Structure 1
């Protein structure tokens, strides 16, 4: 027993010394991943464990108690649904006998968390399916929520919370937001829990990066191996890192995962420039670089003004057979071009430097977006240009 423990201690020291030597020789940044350093984050903020996912549930139900703002009597789906519901209470009527506008058919959806258990409550989203004008004041009847496999996992019911309204009378309509969509906080009760297995049969867990990147995956595995003093982590690809769970931690997997999640690492990031043409927003990392590029930006203004004049006929004696009033259009074209356009020479600059230079010459945001697109097309912008 003492020999085995002595061997494990020396093996851990050897792995730690080897990791330090490798990092010193390759200048790896994982060893510098200390809490509070620039760009250093916890592992749990970069992704999640494989198997951690939410499950989508959907159901079909009816909302009652509406003040005449429900589905119209011509909606056959609503009338058939009301007849089916009443038949469960020994009320036998035909769909043609249903004329209520206080009811609306709706679709109900919810997300079931990964570790949901019986009795847990989840939020519910209710949306109108027919021609109801508003769901304000309505209450959802008991609605089973099913998964894609057809099994019922939750039951939803309760009064709706609608963040809007609609009132109309004599052709006048006052509406705010979308009154045909509502929420029921904690409106669904889980009837069947979800069993999620985080550890694979070979005794390992897989951490999945939210943004796949080979450099980040390598840094993450190196940081984990340094934190535990042994080679437990191995990157499988740019997205997944396989982490072997030590035999002594398999009975207490929660504590081991908690230690894994709190390992600090400095992730790498891709150079990106995000442009929103609708709002004129440009977001870029401060270190996104540009190659040598010359930008000439000018402004040409063309205005066309048309003057309509009336020409009255003139004749000696006051009468000229066949003469009539004529309308004459006189057009003037004006072209204005500044004497010199804006010229900017960028040499090993960043996008932040370019935007700052453009702002100094009072270039508006729309023109900045057009210039960045042109720089990208010229091959001088070394980043992913994302246009929203």
Structure 2
């Protein structure tokens, strides 16, 4: 089934959003204190015949190398590894994470495995961009999808079973590379904005008045330079903690979180929309093949053959419309879309189109 989505912006007025006090820690991050991406290559075992096939030869090589370290020597060419799958393992290393911190890791099949459901990730080193091992990952997978098989090759697949997560499966073996607060702090705004930068600078200078030059100055829309006062020398962490607790009045950003693999959508009721009209229709094309026997004439030398009969059917539904006026929220939009029969994946596509059209007043985060 192919979906036809048409969005028409009927007005360009912007909804008013009340400014609310927010802590500085929700708006800025210390320069150098950021997340780092980790990557690893591993093996998932315990699959019920849904692992890699003969075409993915590197899976057998990986399993053979792992068994060799355990004192078992096996020729990779003699392995039939239907219960094993080669995977890529990824995670984000948070700033200031210490040795022993637990991380969530994401596991994705890279061979021809059909399903990772029920599998267990074997100990996998995870490296940063500099090649250093920062963590190891191991544990059972949660896929959020499944494959049900019946006879004659029939099967039903729900969501995306070749990608999963290991909750708290990563164990940090080295401290995260982060910068410690010093005599000068450079604050990076999470969302570049001249107005927010000016308000944060004003709040810091008001909290820590100085007889000479102001200790904080906005360099641009995305960075603020702060000098540590003399009375906080040696206590930079305490100084930065006080900055984080300052409050400024800004527009609170809204967010819509989407997990397309499972069809999950998380929406705050305060997320606003500009006035819109949505037309939603569906076009279904069905192609079926029927095999009929063809008999030869009596007393002829012909043979009975099977000939395919192909039929093509097209069905197009009437477009269903949704119209929302000023002040409408995403929650109201979702309720209206559910009433006309839209699925979770339809709603995800519509939300992404709304964001592209500038009608959705929120950030979209895809998991």
Place the TM-score, normalised by the shorter chain, in its bin: 0.5 to 0.7
- CA-CA distance at 1:283 after TM superposition: 4.3
Partner Cα distance (2:90, 2:56) in 1 = 22
Assess, with a 3 A threshold, how the Cα gap between structure 1 residues 74 and 217 changes in structure 2: closer, same or farther: closer
Question: Does the 8 Å contact 1:144/1:152 carry over to 2?
Answer: yes
Partner Cα distance (1:164, 1:268) in 2 = 38
Aligned counterpart, 1:187: 169
Decide which structure has greater helix share.
1
Partner Cα distance (2:240, 2:215) in 1 = 13
- CA-CA distance at 1:92 after TM superposition: 2.8
Assess, with a 3 A threshold, how the Cα gap between structure 1 residues 38 and 108 changes in structure 2: closer, same or farther: closer
Assess, with a 3 A threshold, how the Cα gap between structure 1 residues 269 and 164 changes in structure 2: closer, same or farther: closer
Measured against aligned partners, the alpha-carbon deviations of 1:276-299 in whole angstroms (never above 9, x if no partner) come to xxxxxx94589xxxxxxxxxxxxx
- CA-CA distance at 1:137 after TM superposition: 1.4
2:32 maps to which of 51, 55, 75: 51
Partner Cα distance (2:56, 2:35) in 1 = 34
Question: Does the 8 Å contact 2:19/2:251 carry over to 1?
Answer: no
**Comparing 257-266 and 147-156, the one that deviates more:** 257-266
- CA-CA distance at 1:57 after TM superposition: 0.5
Aligned counterpart, 1:71: 52
How does the TM-score come out when normalised to structure 2? Answer: 0.62
- Name segments (4+ residues, structure 1) moved above 4 Å: 282-286
Partner Cα distance (1:86, 1:39) in 2 = 58
- CA-CA distance at 1:38 after TM superposition: 4.6
Question: Does the 8 Å contact 1:119/1:191 carry over to 2?
Answer: yes
Partner Cα distance (2:114, 2:252) in 1 = 48
Partner Cα distance (1:141, 1:179) in 2 = 18
Kindly indicate whether structure 1 or structure 2 has the higher relative contact order, using CA contacts under 8 Å at least 6 residues apart.
2
Aligned counterpart, 2:144: 163
SS in 2 for 1:131: coil
Matched ranges for 1:252-271 at <5 A: 252-267=235-250
Aligned counterpart, 1:173: 155
Question: Does the 8 Å contact 2:142/2:166 carry over to 1?
Answer: yes
1:199 maps to which of 172, 178, 181: 181
Assess, with a 3 A threshold, how the Cα gap between structure 1 residues 74 and 239 changes in structure 2: closer, same or farther: closer
- CA-CA distance at 1:70 after TM superposition: 0.7
Matched ranges for 1:1-388 at <5 A: 38-170=19-151, 171-200=153-182, 203-230=183-210, 231-267=214-250, 283=272, 352=326, 386=358
Aligned counterpart, 1:343: none
Partner Cα distance (1:95, 1:195) in 2 = 38
- CA-CA distance at 1:176 after TM superposition: 1.7
Partner Cα distance (2:48, 2:104) in 1 = 25
Decide which structure has greater strand share.
2
Assess, with a 3 A threshold, how the Cα gap between structure 1 residues 140 and 284 changes in structure 2: closer, same or farther: closer
Unpaired segments of 5 or more residues in structure 2?
1-17, 254-270, 276-324, 329-355, 361-367
- CA-CA distance at 1:237 after TM superposition: 1.2
Looking at CA atoms only, which structure, 1 or 2, has the larger radius of gyration?
Answer: 1
Assess, with a 3 A threshold, how the Cα gap between structure 1 residues 385 and 133 changes in structure 2: closer, same or farther: closer
Question: Does the 8 Å contact 1:198/1:205 carry over to 2?
Answer: no
Assess, with a 3 A threshold, how the Cα gap between structure 1 residues 352 and 83 changes in structure 2: closer, same or farther: same
Question: Does the 8 Å contact 1:216/1:268 carry over to 2?
Answer: no
Unpaired segments of 5 or more residues in structure 1?
1-36, 271-281, 287-350, 356-383
How does the TM-score come out when normalised to structure 1? Answer: 0.59
Partner Cα distance (1:285, 1:45) in 2 = 26
Aligned counterpart, 2:307: none
Question: Does the 8 Å contact 1:108/1:127 carry over to 2?
Answer: yes
Assess, with a 3 A threshold, how the Cα gap between structure 1 residues 199 and 254 changes in structure 2: closer, same or farther: closer
